[in-house]
Amino acid sequence: MTTAEFWKGRRVFVTGHTGFKGSWLTRWLTMLGASVSGYAWDRDEHKLFPLIGAAPEVHTVWGDVRNRQRLDAALREAAPEVIFHLAAQPLVRTSYQFPADTFEVNVMGTVNLLEAVASAVDSGTPVRAVVNVTTDKCYDNREWIWGYRETDPLGGYDPYSSSKACSELVTQAYRNSYFHPARYAEHGVAVATARAGNVVGGGDDSQDRLVPDCLRSFAAGLRPLLRSPAATRPWQHVLEPLSGYLLLAEKLVQEGAEYAAAWNFGPEEQSVHSVEKVAVRLAALWGEGAGIDIAGISGLHEAGELQLDSTRARRLLGWRSRWSVEQALQKTVDWHRALDAGQDMRNISEQQIREYMTQNL
């Protein structure tokens, strides 16, 4: 598990810090004592970020990752040692509606971030580690029943998945060309990518995601329609991959070139379940007569079988999943019940992070 000793006082720059993952990550970093600066698009709704309590402790710059000059200036001002790149258009179905925007944000946003890193390093900014967060959907999905490894071919049927595969290739090209591990002694920057499974957790209000859609329907007394009930996904609580990102960043700073690569952070095989099974269990945890309906085919292509092989992270980083799917869903329902009850969500969120950190493996 990551340590407060490492992060206390360390300067960190997070793009997309007001999103679902970004809000939980910045809250965790501030709890660990890091000095966090964030860069996010001011046109998005930022409901979770203030709720979770990170806002007062984070220096925020509003900007678009497609604006290279503004991103470059923000990174130089932050003068970080560690960078987490989470800014993205994160939804498959949205990518069908806005493919050009998806590629611009997810591909050129990565280019701009790495250009800013190269420029900052040349000017003396002490960047040591960069973690580009992509997705499990970056692989060329063959509908295999076994997990994808980091060495499997990249691909992407839909614009979102393809854009994230492109982001992986962009990162690889910059790592090879400007931050090559073999020349680590010269530039001192270790660049890695992180591919996680389907995350759930408190505060995710995205459209066309299973758990948020279900919770909205349950709260309104409605029965959600499942588009692809038989599709399987590697379900995990949001704190699971975030713990991997933090641990990876530590290793990049401490060990450098040895960890500058792609990494999977997915749950154990027993946490790979169908959409229908997860929705039924979520309804049972919600109670109050909650139920689901089957809508059938969605009309847009979505992967049927998908899971990750995280053997490399387990063996080389010592990373492990801590919460089962049951625990992940229960924590998500608990968080939203607390929100509905008007509780202090900063305290609730901190409590869940501390529970996760103290969970025995």
- In tens, the pLDDT along 247-306 reads 999 999 999 889 999 999 998 877 788 999 999 999 999 998 899 998 655 566 666 678
| Structure letter (DSSP) for residue 19 | S
- In tens, the pLDDT along 98-148 reads 999 999 999 999 999 999 999 999 888 899 999 999 999 999 988 887 899
Per-residue confidence band for 3, with pLDDT thresholds at 50, 70 and 90:
confident
Quote the CA–CA distance of 336 and 211 in Å, as a whole number: 11
3-class SS letters over 315-331: HHHCCCCCCCHHHHHHH
Q: How far is CA 238 from CA 174, 242, 352, 353, in A?
A: 28, 7, 11, 10
CA nearest to 194, candidates 257, 250, 260, 143: 260
Per-residue confidence band for 156, with pLDDT thresholds at 50, 70 and 90:
confident
Asked whether the predicted pLDDT for residue 77 surpasses 60, the reply is yes
State if pTM tops 0.85.
yes
- In tens, the pLDDT along 18-74 reads 999 999 999 999 999 999 999 999 866 678 999 998 888 999 999 999 999 999 999
Find how far residue 192's CA is from the centre of its chain: 14
Strand, coil or helix: 353: helix
| Average pLDDT of the residues in 158-169 | 97
- In tens, the pLDDT along 221-242 reads 999 989 888 888 889 999 999 9
Q: Where are the beta strands (DSSP E) in 205-268?
A: 225-226, 232-237, 262-265
Asked whether the predicted pLDDT for residue 195 surpasses 90, the reply is yes
For position 300, what pLDDT does the model report?
A: 66
For position 35, what pLDDT does the model report?
A: 97
For position 298, what pLDDT does the model report?
A: 58
Q: Whole-number mean pLDDT of the chain?
A: 92
For position 142, what pLDDT does the model report?
A: 87
Enclosing H/E stretch for 101: helix 99-103
For position 167, what pLDDT does the model report?
A: 98
C-alpha triplet 294, 297, 300: angle, nearest 5°: 135
